[in-house]
Amino acid sequence: MRIAPATLREVGPAFCDALQLGGEARRLVGYQLDQCAELLPEPDTWAALGRGEMATLVLFSGDVLLTISREAATQGVPELAVTWHSVRVTEVTYRRGDQRTSWDFQFRDRKPLHVEGRMNDPSAPGAAQTLDQAEVFARALAASIGWPIPEPESVRDEEPQDDESPGAASSRRRHLSRQTVTDLWGNPKPTRRNR
């Protein structure tokens, strides 16, 4: 039960961007995440939520939701605190305003969780809808309790939002099992048939 190094390389920078850390503080959080990694399961999906000191990293794995936050320690050096909860969602509220979404999850055994996502409806016919990492996370959590959510054909990085650093957009990546394969010019390649 250890989070994969590749996943850690994605979630670490995204969490540090959400915390708005740089330099030594960023390295310290990376080190602390690496120390926690052997006790963290590989997530089905994840998201860095919030900005600044109140930012949290949420990992969703099977029927478990882990929340990682930074809290002040007795010696003055902030430490990471990991909270593990069984997912017992009692209510989901979804709102959408153009390209921004808002998900509110109520739980039986923990505080509510608010997720603000972003989606981009394609302007070209036949183009795939794109979702940011927070939207992917919220949809997966909602789907886990039976909310019927169609799986997008692809997920790509969004441009940085007004309140994000440019590095935050590049850290939001999600590899889906059903990605469209294209040729050099971006045209979909036909699927191979087994002989």
Q: Is residue 83 part of a domain?
A: yes
What confidence category does residue 16 fall into, taking pLDDT thresholds of 50, 70 and 90?
very high
* Whether the predicted pLDDT of 55 surpasses 90: yes
* Whether the predicted pLDDT of 33 surpasses 70: yes
Give 159-178 pLDDT, tens digit per residue.
Answer: 455 555 444 444 444 443 34
What is the length of the chain? Answer: 195
Q: How far out from the chain centre does Cα 172 lie?
A: 7
Query: Mean pLDDT over residues 87-111, rounded?
Result: 91
Maximum separation of any 2 CA atoms in the chain, in Å: 66
What tokens appear for 67 in the block? 């929340």
Residue ranges making up the domain that contains 84: 5-171
At a CB cut-off of 8 Å and minimum separation 6, what does 73 contact?
79
Q: Is residue 191 part of a domain?
A: no
Query: Mean pLDDT over residues 1-9, rounded?
Result: 87
The answer to whether residues 30 and 12 touch, using CB atoms and an 8 Å cutoff, is: yes
Q: Is residue 111 part of a domain?
A: yes
Residue 164 to residue 154: CA distance in whole angstroms = 23
Percent of the chain exceeding pLDDT 90 equals: 45
Q: Which residue has the higher pLDDT, 26 or 168?
A: 26
Which residue is listed with tokens 């996502």? Answer: 117
Which residue is listed with tokens 């995440």? Answer: 33
Q: Is residue 180 part of a domain?
A: no
Query: Mean pLDDT over residues 20-36, rounded?
Result: 91
Region of residue 125 (phi > 0: left; psi between -120 and 50: alpha; otherwise: beta): beta
Q: Is residue 194 part of a domain?
A: no
List, in sequence order, every residue forming a beta bridge with 43; answer none if it has no partner: none
* Whether the predicted pLDDT of 131 surpasses 70: yes
* Whether the predicted pLDDT of 9 surpasses 70: yes
What confidence category does residue 149 fall into, taking pLDDT thresholds of 50, 70 and 90?
confident
The answer to whether residues 110 and 85 touch, using CB atoms and an 8 Å cutoff, is: yes
**Per-residue DSSP letter, 163:** T
Q: Is residue 55 part of a domain?
A: yes
DSSP three-state, residue 144: coil
Q: Is residue 33 part of a domain?
A: yes
Q: Is residue 41 part of a domain?
A: yes
Q: How many domains does the chain have?
A: 1
What confidence category does residue 145 fall into, taking pLDDT thresholds of 50, 70 and 90?
confident
